[in-house]
Amino acid sequence: MINILANDGISESAIELLREKGFNVTNEHINQDSLAESINKNNYEVILVRSATKIRKELIDKCPNIKLIGRGGVGMDNIDVEYAIDKGIKVINTPKASSLSVAELVFAHLFGMVRSLYDSNRKMPMNGEKDFKKLKKSYSSGSELFGKTLGIIGFGRIGQEVARIAIALGMKVLAHDKTISEANITLKFFDDSKKTFTIETDPINTVLERSDFITLHIPKIDDKPVITAKEIKLMKTGAGIINTSRGGLIDEDILMFSLEKKKLAYAALDVFSNEPTPSIHLLMQENISLTPHIGAATREAQERVGTELAEKIIKFYNKK
């Protein structure tokens, strides 16, 4: 029997599917320090992770029985992918499963930003009873998303899903991608009718200069941020920026400075440079909408992630 460790959790439907096919699934979290010992002791051939668990060279070398590493999600920054492949280990992820969940979170932040919901939700419980009129006045200068320009940096599956929602809201869409020159975005309506829009990508400077909001959907290549003082300088004064992709893509110190100097009006972060202990100075910024890395964490996405992983595991072993 093939033993699988789902170290960062997996859906019950995926466990059932795997067990029906004869796999033994353990759905519990082992601390990073004890992970190698547990893998070897229980002869786990497959280890499934999300973003919490790291699969680095040292762990791979200590666990020669690993045949497959699965990442529930898109990015694999926490896995030494090339090293694993060189060792003959299959590495899989689930690029389709979480696109919609991440895209919807982008717009949850966007709506919250332009109407100051992130801030009013903090202050209403404390001051709403005594300062209602004052708070009403302070939050009465919001704006609408309709007609605004959304710049999407990274136009893969998630970026295209973001574009689909933006178009439906009546926003203008600009996009930048290093490898994709254009994409067809199809909107499906309640009556089963469809309409397709073709979006051609632009240079990153064009997207930065012309957008009212920027949203990032790119992998983290190295430790250098993609959005630095140079890029923020190109952005419109009063623009907003959202990062639901990878921590460290934005220089957080420069971001805080830009908000304090009112170069940027808002920011939203679901990911941070120092997860799981983000900077307290960043967390206390009044103009940042914050979530704790929950982009793909919806019930529906978790079901899709689990199913996609299970199907790929079954396919891998059926081929052997």
The neighbouring-strand residues paired with 290 are: 269
Q: Catalytic pick from 104, 115, 209, 275?
A: 275
Which of 176, 217, 246, 304 is labelled catalytic? 246
The answer to whether residue 58 is catalytic is no
Q: Which two tokens stand for residue 162?
A: 């973001």
Does 275 participate in catalysis according to the annotation?
Answer: yes
Catalytic one of 50, 109, 164, 293: 293
Instruction: List C-alpha distances in Å: 36 to 2, 32, 61, 72, 204.
Output: 17, 8, 9, 20, 42
Does 176 qualify as catalytic in the annotation? no
Active-site amino acid positions: 246, 275, 293
